[in-house]
Structure 1
Amino acid sequence: MYGFRIVDKLEKIDEDIQRGQLKYHSKRVLVSKEFTFDAAHHLHCYEGKCKNLHGHTYKVIFGISGFVDETGLMIDFGDIKEIWKKEIEVQLDHRYLNETLPPMNTTAENMVVWIFEKMAEAVAERESLSREQGARVEFVRLYETPTSYAEARREWMEA
């Protein structure tokens, strides 16, 4: 049905497409990136298995919205990864969360708000993103297990 095909000619900037055509629209868009980390914790004032020290492979999903620049990009996925690696993951991955997070019960509900705040702060500090692209964190979803997650949304955080 569909055969493999090599393109006849690689599209060239300023020949086949003009720079002014790279930005297709002026709408707000949302990009999403997910990461995993492994960590141990236990819960205080909780009667159940989670009162004991145990670990999870957590998955975190970020939704960041904004307006595209002249090249059609809102934020580079690599920039999200850099923020995650340098600002957030170092405090979570292969750590005992009760020790590395601020004083809190290390529930998914508490942790997702902390992660949201860290990402929102990092995005705001990147002046070009927050000023020119209007970048903002819309949501963070933190999976504690493959079927259980907590979520923080911008409108809830700002209320």
Structure 2
Amino acid sequence: MYDFRIVDQLQKIDQDIQRNELKYHQKRVMVSKEFTFDASHHLHCYEGKCKNLHGHTYTAIFGISGYVNDIGLVIDFSEMKQIWKEQIEIYLDHRYLNETLPKMNTSAENMVVWLFEKMEAALADKPNDCRVEFVKLYETPTSYAEARREWMIDE
């Protein structure tokens, strides 16, 4: 059986724990964040239903790695959300992707590479050696495309 207690006093910085104790390690670690958006598109040169205009509720998952800062964070999840909102989602959510993305066939395979490149560019000026490790783009709950760092950068 576990002992249960209610914390009656939160630790205070510089009193109960010192600032230099906040950083636990110096290892590269990865954090992930998931976003959804709704959009329409169609595929060129495709014989099948997807040649017609249709839509999806997409899910994009970003894996970002780096070294923790002096308080133990690689990148704040709110920073990832801000990048998403300001630099990526504006081209995607409730948009006709064939118009808003660069000239491409708007397949999940092409879009996931574009997502990787947009996030990687946004992280270029961030500290902690942040970099994109992977992006997954779900077109449906059971179908997705993936871009990985080793395929995008290291190959």
**Could you say which TM-score interval applies, normalised by the shorter chain?**
over 0.9
- What's the TM-score once normalised by structure 2's chain length? 0.95
Deviation at 1:8, TM superposition (A): 2.6
Q: Deviations over 1:78-136 (max 9, x none)?
A: 0000000000000000000001111100000000000110000000033xx2xxx0110
Which structure 1 residue ranges, 5 or more long, are not aligned?
Answer: none
Deviation at 1:57, TM superposition (A): 0.2
Q: Deviations over 1:12-40 (max 9, x none)?
A: 11111111110000000000000000000
d(CA) in 2 for partners of 1:50, 1:3: 57
1:37 matched to 2:32: no
Paired residue type of 1:138? E
Paired residue type of 1:143? Y
Alignment of 1:15-34 (within 5 A): 15-34=15-34
The alignment covers a number of residue pairs equal to 154
Paired residue type of 1:136? R
Paired residue type of 1:88? I
For 1:135, which of 130, 133, 136 is the aligned residue?
Answer: 130
With over 3 angstroms needed to count, the CA separation of the structure-2 counterparts of 1:11 and 1:43, relative to structure 1, is same
Paired residue type of 2:103? P
Which structure 2 residue ranges, 5 or more long, are not aligned?
Answer: none
Paired residue type of 2:45? C
1:116 matched to 2:142: no
CA RMSD of aligned residues (A): 1.2
Identity %, equivalent residues: 75
d(CA) in 2 for partners of 1:60, 1:28: 22
Paired residue type of 1:103? K
